[in-house]
Structure 1
Amino acid sequence: MNCTHLDRAGDLPVPSQLSCARCIEEGHHDWVHLRMCLDCGNVACCDSSPGQHASAHYKETGHPVMRSVEPGEEWRWCFVDEVLG
């Protein structure tokens, strides 16, 4: 499948300090993996984490593409088309 969202997504620098701000606000530090929105740079926890804040960010903002910020991972995910790129 050709995903125009992945094709158009730029790249942002990965912050040096990585954490899920919403988890921290809620008093949690139990995220599993972190993802970064390629529209605004928001870093949030993945769907394997209790908070699922990366998906929540997409639902709240409509920003379609995020990337993994885990060491050694460079893949991207389009929430709209549900495609890995």
Structure 2
Amino acid sequence: MAEKLCNHLTAIEEIKTAEGRVCEECVKIGGRWLHLRTCQECGVTLCCDSSPNRHATAHFHETGHPVVASAEPGEQWLWCYEDEQFAEY
């Protein structure tokens, strides 16, 4: 039986996509990133937890914005930090 999606994921009506192919915070500090995630509340694109600076998770902790979408080409999924749930779209 499939797990019911959390309210944060079901509230997403339109997927925000990355404006560019960079982590905005890594660019500011001269850092590097592996994969990118786009915040579904404010649209900022930041690096994933496999990247040295983990800016997407830090953004969640700082702002409380719970849902990110993969900003990687060919990937269509969402992750809710608060409820630790994954959903494809």
Identity of aligned residues (%): 47
* Structure-2 separation of matches of 1:13 and 1:78: 16
- How do residues 39-78 of structure 1 correspond to structure 2 at under 5 angstroms? 39-78=41-80
Deviation at 1:13, TM superposition (A): 3.8
Q: Report the AA paired with residue 18 of structure 1.
A: R
1:24 partnered with 2:27: yes
Q: Deviations over 1:11-47 (max 9, x none)?
A: 22432x220111111111x201000000010100000
Secondary structure, counterpart of 1:51 in structure 2: coil
* Structure-2 separation of matches of 1:58 and 1:84: 15
Deviation at 1:7, TM superposition (A): 0.3
| RMSD of equivalent CA atoms | 1.1
| TM-score of the pair, normalised by structure 2 | 0.87
Q: Which residue number corresponds to residue 14 of structure 1?
A: 18
Q: Give structure 1 stretches of 5+ with no counterpart.
A: none
Aligned residue pairs: how many?
A: 83
